[in-house]
Chains A and B, each alone.
Chain A
């Protein structure tokens, strides 16, 4: 039952903190005990050891680089591809949403490419771009691009037609209608798209690096797999999870700042 009143003597905030500590501690304890005293120990390093290794990875290199360098490589790949896909995705989305001619020309091609998962492009991108960074940019670009385009397109399609009519009646030029009305009212949709795209881009870089790379967090976990080093995999997963969390929250914080006028009920 969803109750909004708390009957216990603790406030809801205090309860949240207490339960969070209890649940995380019990996870760590079960993990630690299972790793130390059961037959799972062969495949499961104890929690304490993984945490230690995670901290050590910032000073001691894994492979050729330390953790920060690996993260730097991965983030750099995401950043470049994300920037390119933001520009092209917004341009294409607004263009298709605003002009019916552009929509008619480009939408069938876009709809043809959209259902193909970005990672399915990996084999082709290796043939086209070789094993370097370009291929990875391409994969991550595809991962972000579709979300940004679709959301921007939805935004531009959902502009209140009365607003556009009113502006035209008051003598606004088509250019003014586009820049003063269509673009600003798509901004919330664009941000929703950017947020999904960042998460998708981070997932794509992990995938792309796992298939083909010499550095980065994806390389780290797949290297751990081929050498049978569970601890290295887990250290990599911790890093991937933390950065994924930060990226997702960064974009929503940015949205709250830049689009404060569009405060929506949080989920």
Chain B
């Protein structure tokens, strides 16, 4: 027993600290009523709302939790796929061909410092408040990380490897596909993960501003109706899904990318 305690000391402290915070939270809200439930609902209330929304409750925003998650995911993944399909080849192309780089890099550098959120008004004005404008916004969020990382990855190809390939008579295309891209793959994957993260963040922002469904819309609606329990359920769901998406990509990376460093 003592050994067990000694071995897992820090894990136990972690669990205790977490439980302690929950306990204090519960005490100041439900037991002592020190904080109004309109400002901070109790953990018990949040759990209750979570179960209600999960089991098909549609109040107060007119959709269940799963419907909202699905609405958000569909748009986020749509924009993400477009951003990656354009971003990765662009990054590879810029790193591989000097002429293309000279031409495309200034244009890319104009877009790069602009946060994806700053595109929201323009996109909404041009494409309406439907899914097309949100795909446009998420495209910009995903596209930049995907391009930057692919570019850097290809640029890190060792010159010696290229010389060896050339000496053995490899064509330009072979050098690109057999030497440079495999070298860059870990970086490209990192880019894909960063891109997915920023796509998810941009989606929430876009839904806060203009949407009729989705997690961002759910928390915005809950604010207007004064339902902080729903807001917190939404926030935790958003965080959890973001984490989940990242984990999935990490697993894929470990499986498909050879020689990728962990962490």
In residues 216-245 of chain B, which contact A (Cβ within 8 Å)?
Answer: 216, 219-220, 222-223, 226, 228, 231-232, 234-236, 238-240, 242-243
Which of B26-34, B77-85, B118-126, B254-262 contacts its partner?
B118-126
Contact A108–B14 (Cβ < 8 Å): yes
In residues 110-128 of chain A, which contact B (Cβ within 8 Å)?
Answer: 112-117, 119-124, 126-128
Q: A203-B115, A210-B120 are in contact. Are A117 and B201 (CB under 8 A)?
A: yes
Q: Could you tell me the distance between the alpha carbons of A121 and B208 in the complex, rounded to whole angstroms?
A: 11
Contact A108–B125 (Cβ < 8 Å): no
Q: Could you tell me the distance between the alpha carbons of A20 and B106 in the complex, rounded to whole angstroms?
A: 6
Residues of B within 8 A of A105 (CB): 13-14, 17
Q: Could you tell me the distance between the alpha carbons of A109 and B117 in the complex, rounded to whole angstroms?
A: 28
- Tell yes or no: A15 within 8 A of B by CB: yes
Chain A 215-231 interface mask (CB, 8 Å, partner B; 1/0): 00000011011001010
Q: Could you tell me the distance between the alpha carbons of A153 and B100 in the complex, rounded to whole angstroms?
A: 40
Q: Could you tell me the distance between the alpha carbons of A2 and B103 in the complex, rounded to whole angstroms?
A: 15
Q: Could you tell me the distance between the alpha carbons of A225 and B114 in the complex, rounded to whole angstroms?
A: 17
Q: Which of B157, B204, B228 has the most CB of A within 10 A?
A: B204
Number of A-B residue pairs having CB atoms within 8 Å of each other in the complex = 173
Residues of A within 8 A of B13 (CB): 101, 104-105
- Tell yes or no: B155 within 8 A of A by CB: yes
- Tell yes or no: A207 within 8 A of B by CB: yes
Taking the closest CB of chain B, its distance from the CB of A157, in whole angstroms, is 11
Contact A104–B201 (Cβ < 8 Å): no
Contact B102–A15 (Cβ < 8 Å): yes
Contact A127–B38 (Cβ < 8 Å): yes
Residues of A within 8 A of B220 (CB): 123
Residues of A within 8 A of B226 (CB): 127
**B interface, by DSSP: helix, strand, loop or mixed?**
helix
Taking the closest CB of chain B, its distance from the CB of A214, in whole angstroms, is 16
Contact B231–A23 (Cβ < 8 Å): no
Minimum CB distance partner of A244 in chain B: B113
- Tell yes or no: B4 within 8 A of A by CB: no
Q: A2-B157, A236-B118, A241-B114 are in contact. Are A211 and B243 (CB under 8 A)?
A: no
Residues of B within 8 A of A248 (CB): 113
Taking the closest CB of chain B, its distance from the CB of A160, in whole angstroms, is 18
Residue among A107, A225, A245 making CB contact with B113, cutoff 8 Å: A245
Contact A127–B102 (Cβ < 8 Å): no
Contact B228–A240 (Cβ < 8 Å): no
In residues 115-167 of chain B, which contact A (Cβ within 8 Å)?
Answer: 115-122, 124-126, 152, 154-155, 157, 159, 162
Contact A202–B95 (Cβ < 8 Å): no
Q: Could you tell me the distance between the alpha carbons of A128 and B126 in the complex, rounded to whole angstroms?
A: 34
Q: A103-B10, A124-B235 are in contact. List 18 more A-B contacts (CB 8 A).
A: A2-B154, A2-B157, A4-B159, A15-B102, A23-B103, A109-B21, A116-B238, A120-B238, A124-B223, A124-B232, A127-B228, A221-B120, A222-B209, A228-B125, A233-B122, A237-B122, A241-B114, A267-B152
A-B contact pairs, 14 of them (CB 8 A): A1-B175, A2-B154, A19-B103, A23-B103, A23-B106, A24-B110, A105-B14, A116-B238, A117-B239, A203-B117, A206-B118, A234-B122, A244-B113, A248-B113
